[in-house]
């Protein structure tokens, strides 16, 4: 059997298995991310069915998956919404950053993974999953609740923080000097500022250039622009993911709506490959030794997210039940945490145990988050009734 034939068979088997896993996740009302990671663990080195002939395609597909994930995330916001959200939530965002990055950084330092490991694991535990949270809020009919703008404002702050964090991480993983790191951050801040100004004042022109009444043409222009901007950003030592995110911000109005419609199936396909590739790079046998640390981090950072959300909602005058919903809504981790760990893996700058810990942690949080969001309301109502009767 020649190489191409074997690669087609393996790739077909992977896509079909992902489809089955996605359907299983939908049946349980969960995000498919944990299932995709588990699929990668099964297909990777040390798994049940190791794959060997699709590594080149899967690597490129995973990179495209990151670009499309961040592009679609940027399409959810306009520049004015980002600025407004930043003004409203900067204090809550800082509290969120300190409370949730510190546990990951502390565990990495305690385990002897150094400054680089602390920066990586701190980012993994800090950033919530916008994709999972948005889906859960939609499924539960909570988009119109009073606490939802608070949750979204914190997510906006986190996404903007990532636009600064990722260039720092990229420079650190590349082993550049302190001056080189400052240069990368400076370039990133300049690029972010320029894009926000362009989006605020001239976003309609960017949208007009990319817009097209024909879905095929629109898809080609969007995908081409996203990959082009991502590549240029990477060449400028700004993360490719940040470049895609900023492009999404610059697209607004009906163009953004149409772009989301045509890109979502493609994003889901390549994002699934991204999660699988990350699972492929993780040795399943390395997870049990770090599972205890992952569970400890899951408990601690679930509590710190709940504290963050409840405190931010209280400052906005939200009632007790709404504060509880806001807190648990932020628990889920997913795509961004894996993006961070994936950058570290591709750079070869972290230990395999850290990758295994990040995988186990995301698996736990991607499951705990949606479940907690579903059960918090009846639990909180019962607790408030008991408290009122005593």
pLDDT tens readout for residues 248-265: 888 888 888 899 899 988
Burial of 269 (0-12, 13-18, 19+ CB in 10 A): middle
CATH of the domain at 291: 1.20.1530.20
Q: Is-contact 306 343, C-beta < 8 A?
A: no
In total, how many domains does the chain have? Answer: 1
Residue 28 lies in a domain: no
Residue 158's domain spans which residues? Answer: 55-389
Amino acid 50: pLDDT: 65
Q: CA-to-CA distance for 139 and 284, rounded, in angstroms?
A: 32
Residue 341 lies in a domain: yes
Q: 237: pLDDT confidence band, cut at 50, 70 and 90? A: low
Amino acid 142: pLDDT: 82
* Confidence (pTM): 0.79
Residues 179-192: b if buried by 16+ CB within 10 A, e if exposed: eebeebbebbeebb
Residue 252 lies in a domain: yes
Residue 146 lies in a domain: yes
Indicate if the alpha-carbon torsion angle 311, 315, 316, 318 is positive or negative: positive
pLDDT in tens, 24-71: 888 877 778 888 888 877 776 655 566 666 667 777 888 888 888 878
Residue 46 lies in a domain: no
Residue 69 lies in a domain: yes
Residue 67 lies in a domain: yes
> What is the DSSP track for 63-101?
HHHHHHHHHHHHHT--HHHHHHHHHHHHHHHHHHHHHHH
Q: What is the DSSP letter of 144?
A: T
Residue 42 lies in a domain: no
Local structure of 370: helix, strand or coil:
helix
């Amino acid at each position: 059997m020649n190489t191409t034939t074997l690669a087609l068979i393996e790739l077909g088997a992977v896509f079909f298995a992902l489809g089955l896993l996605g359907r299983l996740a939908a049946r349980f009302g969960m995000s498919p991310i944990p299932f995709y990671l588990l699929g990668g663990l099964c297909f990777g080195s040390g798994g049940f069915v190791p794959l060997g002939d699709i590594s080149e395609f899967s690597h490129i597909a995973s990179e495209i998956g990151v670009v499309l994930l961040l592009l679609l995330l940027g399409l959810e916001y306009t520049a004015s919404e980002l600025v407004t959200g930043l003004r409203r939530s900067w204090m809550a965002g800082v509290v969120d950053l300190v409370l949730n990055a510190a546990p990951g950084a502390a565990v990495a330092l305690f385990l002897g993974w150094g400054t680089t490991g602390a920066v990586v694991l701190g980012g993994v535990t800090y950033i919530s999953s916008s994709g999972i949270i948005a889906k859960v809020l939609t499924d539960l009919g909570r988009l119109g609740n009073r606490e939802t703008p608070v949750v979204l404002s914190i997510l906006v702050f986190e996404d903007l923080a990532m636009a600064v964090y990722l260039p720092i991480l990229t420079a650190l993983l590349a082993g550049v000097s302190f001056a080189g790191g400052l240069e990368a951050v400076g370039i990133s801040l300049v690029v972010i500022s320029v894009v926000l100004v362009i989006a605020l004042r001239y976003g309609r022109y960017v949208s007009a250039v990319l817009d097209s009444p024909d879905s095929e043409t629109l898809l080609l222009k969007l995908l081409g622009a996203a990959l082009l901007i991502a590549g240029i950003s990477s060449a400028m030592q700004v993360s490719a993911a940040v470049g895609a995110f900023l492009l999404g911000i610059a697209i607004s109005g009906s163009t953004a709506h149409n772009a989301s419609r045509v890109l979502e199936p493609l994003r889901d396909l390549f994002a699934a490959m991204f999660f699988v590739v990350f699972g492929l790079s993780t040795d399943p046998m390395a997870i049990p030794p770090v599972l205890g640390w992952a569970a400890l981090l899951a408990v601690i950072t679930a509590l710190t997210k709940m504290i963050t959300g409840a405190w931010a909602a209280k400052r906005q005058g939200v009632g007790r039940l709404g504060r509880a919903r806001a807190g648990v809504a932020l628990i889920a981790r997913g795509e961004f945490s894996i993006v961070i760990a994936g950058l570290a893996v591709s750079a070869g700058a972290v230990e395999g145990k850290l990758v295994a810990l990040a995988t186990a942690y995301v698996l736990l949080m991607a499951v705990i988050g949606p479940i907690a969001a579903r059960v918090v309301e009846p639990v909180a109502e019962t607790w408030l009734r008991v408290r009122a009767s005593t």
